[in-house]
Amino acid sequence: MLASVRTCALKGIDGFEVTVEVDISSGMPTLSVVGLPDAEVKESKDRVVAAIRNSGFDFPLKRITVNLSPAELRKSGTQFDLPIAAGILAASGALSEQAVKKLENLLLLGELALDGTLRPCAGVLPMLISTKPKDYTAVIAPDNLLEGRTASVPFITPRTLRDLADWLEGKKADEAVQITYIPPAQEEAPVLLDFSDVKGQTVAKRALEIAAAGGHNVLMIGLPGTGKSMLAKRFPYILPPLSEEEALEITKIYSVCNLVGKTVHLLTQRPFRDPHHTVSDVALIGGGTNPKPGEVSLAHNGVLFLDEFAEFSRATLEVLRQPLENGQVTISRAKETVTYPARFTLLAAMNPCPCGHLGDPHKPCTCTPVQISRYRSKISGPLLDRIDLTVNLNPVAYGDWNKNSEGESSSQIRARVIAARKRQEIRFQGSGTTANAFMTQKQIKEFCPLPQGADAILEAAMRKFGLSARSLDKVLKTARTIADLEGKEQIENVHLIEVLQYRPLDRKGVPDL
């Protein structure tokens, strides 16, 4: 007998419908799965057999063939357990005709425990969104409840395979396989890391405000203890709030990685990722035998903070060039090519040398010129070219440290950032561009006209700093952001001059200390 059940699979962060066809015929008792299944799907056979038997059904001792269509696309994930089990029950006659008919309008997603309990699986949100136009009723595990709510599709959440079968047979009411969502109790707000805690470092604070307002990349260079990490940890608190579209896109990525929490159905805070400098290039950019998003995609619409920037391997840093330029990552394998979004703000921090004391008036540097050169050479010229703002942090003077008065708070800075982003939202409405840092060449020409006298300033800067054409574009984008922060309609020469003060790395291709 033949039966078919609908489910979903993932390609990147988008889902596509898969039909699970089950054929049961006479022959040696076997269970084979075809249609480009990966190891996770092949292992489902043993889980499915145990789940069916432990749910009170007789497993058919016949030749069972399971086909996952379309057969040319690779299938991965544990969500195939439930549809394969339901297909076997339907094809073996364990379900009535009425139940099989009811099964035709369902989309089944779920991993099965050996006792038949439904367990959550990764990527439920993008899979449900992709099939939303077809008006299926989804069957998901109770722990995937919040992703079902976010996708806004009709769904049920049976706890076991037996519960699903009883519901299909009409033995259980709809209420018995549906969980009512109860919003979590209001928790205490997390401790806010405020910019007013940072003593001194006025220039660095200004650079981070500009970066937050326009989505620009920043490199902070300074002696140990000057506040680089302290500033970076407070940076997320001056970023503008996420739009609903941005929040949904981030949640889809986290759903694919099975990182969506059990109390929040939609991520509302911009992500802040800070991988250790020993991270591999695959973990940073994404990939693997079955490609998964990396840190750059998990930081999409948020911040990627790389502390000890020059301690990362050069090969690892070089993989950042594509996402910094295009806002996405393309991972190619022999049988498939997957693209993940990766539009983030890069926030990097490094010491001036391996020992960290080059330029310190009180502690002598113990590094040799060769060590310093090797340390700096890990950051290539093309990578530096993609950084908009570079700021040198000097040691905090005792007078600044001992001040009783606090500086500007994060909320005050954030208010200016939001106002600047609002101007950009109006400017780029309908274009797909979300911030000045992501302007196209056409938009630069339209929105960044040079003021009188700017040609001489930029020409002199190009000669003195060795600026590339890409660097000049970044100067104009950043100047546009400064103008937005000041509420100016046009870029002024003073804005260009301020931007050029944040580009010391362009002079020799190494930190200018």
Q: What is the pLDDT along the chain (513 residues), one digit of tens a residue?
A: 899 999 999 998 999 999 999 999 999 999 999 999 998 899 999 999 999 999 999 999 999 999 999 998 889 999 999 999 999 999 999 999 999 999 999 999 999 999 999 999 999 999 999 999 898 999 999 999 889 988 989 999 999 999 999 999 999 988 888 876 555 544 444 547 889 888 888 899 999 999 999 999 999 999 998 889 999 999 999 999 999 899 999 999 999 998 886 655 678 889 999 999 999 999 999 988 788 899 999 999 999 999 999 999 999 999 999 999 999 999 887 777 899 999 999 999 999 999 998 888 888 999 999 999 889 888 988 899 899 999 999 887 766 667 766 678 999 999 999 999 999 999 999 898 999 999 999 999 999 999 999 999 999 988 888 888 888 999 999 999 999 999 999 999 999 999 999 875 433 434 444
Size of the chain in residues? 513
Rounded to an integer, what distance in angstroms lies between the CA atom of residue 242 and that of residue 232?
19
- The CATH number for 2-177, chosen from 3.60.9.10, 3.30.230.10, 3.90.76.10, 3.60.130.10, is 3.30.230.10
For residue 70, is the peptide bond before it cis, meaning its omega torsion is within 30 degrees of 0?
Answer: yes
Is the pTM above the cut of 0.95? no
What is residue 336's predicted lDDT score, i.e. its pLDDT? 79
Classified by CATH at the fold level, domain 195-434 comes out as: Rossmann fold (3.40.50)
What is residue 465's predicted lDDT score, i.e. its pLDDT? 80
* Per-residue pLDDT tens over the stretch 358-375: 888 888 999 999 999 889
What is residue 181's predicted lDDT score, i.e. its pLDDT? 58
Rounded to an integer, what distance in angstroms lies between the CA atom of residue 306 and that of residue 259?
21
The residues spanned by each domain of the chain are: 2-177, 195-434
Nearest alpha carbon to residue 482 among 303, 474, 468: 474
Long-range interactions of 399-402: CB distance < 8 A, separation 24+: 400/199, 400/200, 401/199, 401/200
The pair of three-digit structure tokens given for residue 411, joined into one six-digit string: 């909320």
What is residue 265's predicted lDDT score, i.e. its pLDDT? 64
Nearest alpha carbon to residue 3 among 17, 25, 31, 22: 22
